[in-house]
Chain A
Amino acid sequence: MYFVADVKENECAKYNCKQCVLFCPEPNCLNFKSSTNSAWVWYDRCKGCEICVYVCSDLLKRHCIEMVMVTPKATAKS
């Protein structure tokens, strides 16, 4: 079980901000996909620090990122 961030892509696509991507301390962990206009998390790289949640929910009040528990099997797919 890992505690990782997960982006609600439908919610995220409404905005054009990328701020969570710019403040994540892990390289290529939070990425931006221009085809869906949303951020996405590479679960294997996420350490669960919640800085993106702070940026999205506390600073910008957009609430597009939530923390979830995933099993190694689920991470292997990404």
Chain B
Amino acid sequence: MGLEYVRISPGFEKYMPRDYVDLVKYGPFGKQVDVMQMGQFKELVEEHPMCAGCYMAYFIRVFYAALPNPEDTIVLGTAGCARLALSQAAVPFIYGNYGDTNAVASGLKRALSIRFPDKVKDVVVIAGDGGLIDIGFGMTMHSWFRREKFTTIMVDNEVYGNTGGQESGMSPKGIQLKMAPLGKKFDKINAVELAKTAGCVYVARISPTNPKRIAKTIRRAILAARHFGPTFIHAYTSCNIEYSIPTREVLADARKREKQDFKFYEWMTDEVKEFFEELERKEKQEVKK
């Protein structure tokens, strides 16, 4: 971890793969990139096997461009679609068993703060609705009850996409899916309110329609987790295969859902609010100088 691990040993430049050399030369390591510059630098995430037009892949792309310090970050994932892209990035990735991501992250964050007391190390969990709210529900909740200082991001595609389309706790009521032909009988779980009740200090719900806002939310969640406690982002990332959305309409669907039930929502405790106000004041002063 740290910048040393991305540098190429002298003399080996011409033997390294082109993607790696590009990453060291034009990547975001050691400098602060803006998410609006995507497409003009070598991104941390590489080619991945996710479906064409998958907006979970898009969310992950923006996530890696928004990391405040990628060289000191560890990402955790679990079974589900998200791990297909998460494991293709130049950031250390840990694959938990299904549902235990938040338990692994708790231990990891504590170990890192003992091993590197003078450094900031970020731990971020990205898992789907199945990994966090269905199968991993207990471990997710208990990591929040214990106020572990890391970020949890739920990429909610409202279905078990990998295994053929079973309903999940996050599927909307009444939805008919390939492996749930009778329609779902129960309401969608209100994950945002659960997170607030369980003790998260920063909670957000977002639809991927505005890269700048996604990046700001992710940065805020990670910065708040460093100092105060658990943070949670609920992101809508549609499954265009299981919900039969034509790939060209994926962004239109995200915009439609944003107007319906995924309106941008951000909640934080008073101390976190003060912290961000202070931080933004300092940033403005620096820009003026």
* Shortest Cβ gap from B106 to chain A (Å): 30
Q: With A25-B54, A27-B47, A27-B61 in contact, do A51 and B247 touch (Cβ < 8 Å)? A: yes
**Do the beta carbons of A23 and B251 come within 8 Å of each other?**
yes
How would residues 9 to 44 of chain A score, 1 for a CB under 8 Å from any chain B CB and 0 otherwise? 000000000100111111110111010000100000
Residues of B within 8 A of A23 (CB): 58, 211, 251
Query: Could you tell me the distance between the alpha carbons of A27 and B61 in the complex, rounded to whole angstroms?
Result: 6
Kindly state whether residue B57 has any CB partner on chain A within 8 Å.
yes
The answer to whether A22 and B211 have CB atoms under 8 Å apart is yes
Indicate which residue in B38, B58, B251 contacts A54 across the interface (CB closer than 8 Å). Answer: B251
Interface size range on B against A: 20 to 34
> Which residues of chain B from 82 to 127 have any CB-CB distance to chain A below 8 Å in the complex?
none
Given known A-B contacts A25-B61, A28-B39, A51 and B248 have beta carbons under 8 A apart? yes
| Interface of A, helix, strand, loop or mixed by DSSP | mixed
Chain A residues numbered 39-73 whose CB sits less than 8 Å from any CB in chain B? 39, 45, 47-51, 53-55, 58-59
Query: What CA separation (Å) do A47 and B57 show in the bound complex?
Result: 12
Q: Are B53 and A50 in contact (CB under 8 A)?
A: yes
- Interface contact B47-A51, CB-CB below 8 Å: no
In the bound complex, residues from chain B placing their C-beta under 8 Å from that of A22 are 35-36, 38-39, 211
Q: Distance in Å from the Cβ of B288 to the closest Cβ of chain A?
A: 26
Task: Take A48-B52, A51-B251 as given contacts and tell me if A30 and B39 are in contact as well, using a CB distance cutoff of 8 Å.
Answer: yes
Known: A18-B39, A54-B248, A54-B252. A26 touches B211 (CB 8 A): no
B242 at the interface (CB under 8 A from A): no
Inter-chain contact A49/B211, CB cutoff 8 Å: no
* Cα-based distance from A49 to B54 in the complex (angstroms): 9
- Contact A25 B58, beta carbon cutoff 8 Å: yes
Q: Is the CB of B52 within 8 A of A49?
A: yes
- On whether the beta carbons of A49 and B53 are closer than 8 Å, the reply is yes
Contacts of A27 in B (CB 8 A): 43-48, 61, 64
The docked-state distance in angstroms from the alpha carbon of A27 to that of B42 is 8
A-B pairs with the 5 shortest C-beta distances? A49-B53, A21-B39, A47-B52, A25-B58, A49-B247
What are 7 A-B interface contacts by the 8 Å CB criterion? A25-B58, A27-B64, A48-B247, A49-B247, A51-B247, A51-B251, A58-B252
